[in-house]
Structure 1
Amino acid sequence: MRLLLTSDTHLPKRAKRLPDELLSELAAADVVFHAGDWVDTATLDLFETRARRLVGVYGNNDGPALRARLPEVAEAELGGVRFAVVHETGEARGRERRCAERFPEAEVLVFGHSHIPWDSTAGEGRLRLLNPGSPTDRRRQPYCTYMTAEVTAEGLSQVQLHRLPRRG
């Protein structure tokens, strides 16, 4: 099962449109995770119409229209792997401990907010924390990014961070 992980699309404030590469991955994915800060409902509409399955949450920059359609925390079980999605996890220091305590049943936590890609483990290795960065706003990062992964009989595998070409 192919996964697309993204967050912090911030349309149309940070970019006018989503990168073509991300749209191609959206079409190829079996399940799409979006960890909030959509900013406009048109982006959510696009994801809902193009994704086979969407697991998304709202972020701190998402207004009442998005909050009415999305939860603050989402959970999904895919191929026996338990996922949780949330926008914000707080500061980097102590993140693993806080997330392991907050999501004791999850095996993978997808989060956003910082625009900084993150891949670590917590709870003695039972919880994997993944932040795909942002495909539209690199902030202080060298590239805009997103992630892909696979769920197989063995669990989560082939987690890959993708760097998008710089916009001219």
Structure 2
Amino acid sequence: MEHIIGVLSDTHIPRFKALPEALWHHFANVELIIHAGDLSVLAVINELETIAPVVAVQGNVESDEVRRKLPLKRELVIGGCRIGIVHILSPDSAPRRRTEDEARLQAARREFPQARCVIFGHTHVPYLRQQDGLLLFNPGSATDRRSQPTCTIGRLYIEDASGDPRGEIIPL
């Protein structure tokens, strides 16, 4: 069996009026939705919960109600795969980095030493890289593309038998 999880970040509602309509199509068959922060308001969780249960962390641009309710980071296990979730995966504090990829990997290992997948946001830039047994996954932003060609979301697939994670970036 394969678990399918919807992944998004940086929705910034109500600055952006609504979640994209295409999100409902792409998340129609997911069993869980992970939001990697910068929801801005809790209504985003309520809306997403009409599709599937939601696990979320707070970002750096949140209302007081979001900061009171959501943790800065969390971990969960799905199908034998330990997943770490944080909004800002800070490579700047990773020691002796040589490349941005290595810095992200070091930061992910520091924050979530047992994880096989780390989901993060903040940059609004999609990032998907499997390295040294760890999947690093930033779905980009569902509403604010900044310098990207399109807004993006993602799906995470976890093979139940092996616990192996695989990610997909979905342009909207």
Structure 1 unaligned residues grouped into runs of 5+: none
2:133 maps to 1:131: no
Distance in 2, Cα, partners of 1:24 & 1:71: 28
Distance in 1, Cα, partners of 2:27 & 2:83: 19
Range that drifts further, 148-157 or 36-45: 148-157
Q: State how 1:21-40 maps to structure 2 within 5 Å.
A: 21-40=22-41
Give the match's secondary structure for 1:5: strand
Distance in 2, Cα, partners of 1:146 & 1:83: 17
Determine the structure 2 residue equivalent to 1:113: 122
Determine the structure 1 residue equivalent to 2:96: none
Determine the structure 1 residue equivalent to 2:53: 53
For residues 97-153 of structure 1, the C-alpha deviation after alignment (integer angstroms, 9 at most, x for no partner) is: 12112210111000000000011234xx12211000011000111110011122112
2:59 maps to 1:69: no
Question: 1:67, CA displacement in angstroms?
Answer: 1.3
Determine the structure 2 residue equivalent to 1:101: 110
Give the match's secondary structure for 1:60: coil
Give the match's secondary structure for 1:44: helix
2:169 maps to 1:161: yes
Question: 1:18, CA displacement in angstroms?
Answer: 0.9
- Of 147, 152, 158, which residue of structure 2 is paired with 1:151? 158
Determine the structure 2 residue equivalent to 1:7: 9
TM-score for both structures, normalised by structure 1: 0.88
RMSD: 1.6
How many residues in Structure 1 have an aligned counterpart in Structure 2? 160
Q: Is the 8 A contact 1:116 1:131 kept in 2?
A: yes
Letter in 1 for 2:147: R
Distance in 2, Cα, partners of 1:19 & 1:150: 22
Structure 2 unaligned residues grouped into runs of 5+: 93-99
Letter in 1 for 2:157: E
Question: 1:158, CA displacement in angstroms?
Answer: 4.8
